[in-house]
Structure formats: C-alpha cells, structure tokens
Amino acid sequence: MTTPNQQVRRATIEDLQKLALLWQEESLPWEQLEKRFKEFQVVEGEGGELLGAIGLQIAGHEGRLHSEAFAHAEQADALRGKLWERARIVAGNFGLIRIWTQFNAPFWNASEFQHATAEVLPKLPPSFLGDPHPWKFIQLRPDAAAPVSIDKEFAMFKQAEKERTEQMFRQARVLKIIAAFVAVGVFILVVIWAYKFFQLQGRGPRLRG
C-alpha cells in the first residue's frame, strides 16, 4: 500500500548502496547495474527507504524497461504504477517512439504493452538484445514523428556552415578578380595620364635666346 509521502524521482549516487541491496534481493546483476544507476527511477518512502526501482535504458528513440526491484512484494503493483507513470514522463522528455520490456508480471501483461510481432522486432535496438524472453512494446508516437537526432542536427549544421563558407570564398574570389581589374585599369589610366603629361610638357613653349 502506497502513501502520499512517497517520492518518485531519478536515482542519484547517494542511492547506490540502497539500490544494490534491492538488486541483490531480486538476484539481479547488481555489480553491472551500479555502473548504470542513472538509468533508474526510484520510489522513496517517508523515512528515506527505497521502496522500488526500475531501469529505463535509452538507445536513440527507443527505450527499454528493465531490472525492476521492490523492497516489499505486497507493494509491487502499486509502485509499478508510480514508476511506469514516471518512466512515461522521462520517455516523453527524450522523444522516445517506443518502450520495450520483457517483464512478465501480471501488471505489465494487463497494461498497454503488446507482444512484439515479427514486423516490429527488427526495430529493436541491438543494445537491448541478450535476454531470450519474449518482447513486449508500447508505441508512444508514430515512427515518422521521431525528432531529428542531435547528431543529425549537428551534421546538418556543419553542412550548412560548409556551404556558407564556400559561398563566402567564392564571393571573395570574385571580389579579388574585380579588384585586380580595377587596379589594372587604374594603372593603365595612370600610365596614359603620365604619358600625356610628359608629352604636353615636351610641347610646351621654349624660351628664345
């Protein structure tokens, strides 16, 4: 049974010792999970006890729920509801398209998750593979609605900057050619003026003796 004073939040480094105890009680690979504690959302009780935790691994625009653990089995489903609500908020913040899981507890079987078909499974990120249990997933948004990744945005920015730089160089080359023509034209005019000047000077009146 949950209480109003329970807090659902992201795990911090200060939670590691308590998380490790939960993972050990669930026979999870706690030594590996310790390195990934930032993936976890936790439910903290009024006295600071960690009542439950769930991992949300993110790969691109795909997410995977994994490694759930609870201090008290009778609270598990109520806490799953809180953690799932929190996980959906995090998924929305990251713009995830789908969330995958291999949980088989009744709570998840009765949720919006559906079994992954042969048509959907190719979209499962390779980093999620390894566990032979069947996959379930929930579609959060259409595939076409996936936002442009940061890497793609950066690549597009670099390409735009490259094109802008090339355009500036082309303009600079044109200006240099124009400047060269102007300089040559001015030089020719100066030569012509000097020639005319000295020619007129040579035709000037001569003093009689």
**Domain annotation covers residue 196:** yes
CB 46 within 8 A of CB 54: no
Q: Are residues 52 and 118 in the same domain?
A: yes
Bridge partners (DSSP) listed for residue 30: none
Under the banding of pLDDT at 50, 70 and 90, the label for residue 120 is very high
Q: What is the pLDDT of residue 207?
A: 47
Q: What is the pLDDT of residues 17-43, one digit of tens each?
A: 999 999 999 999 999 999 999 999 999
Q: Are residues 102 and 190 in the same domain?
A: no
Which range (20-24, 70-74, 154-158) has the least confidence?
A: 154-158
Q: Are residues 107 and 165 in the same domain?
A: no
In angstroms, the CA 163 to CA 176 distance is 20
Domain count, the chain: 2
**Domain annotation covers residue 48:** yes
Q: Are residues 131 and 156 in the same domain?
A: no
Residue 117 is encoded by which pair of tokens? 């078909």
Q: Are residues 140 and 156 in the same domain?
A: no
Q: Of 122, 145, 168, which residue constitutes the final position of a domain?
A: 145
In angstroms, the CA 4 to CA 11 distance is 19
Q: What is the pLDDT of residue 176?
A: 85
**Domain annotation covers residue 30:** yes
Q: Are residues 158 and 108 in the same domain?
A: no
Under the banding of pLDDT at 50, 70 and 90, the label for residue 50 is very high
Range list of H helices, 26-94: 30-34, 76-93
**Domain annotation covers residue 23:** yes
**Domain annotation covers residue 2:** no
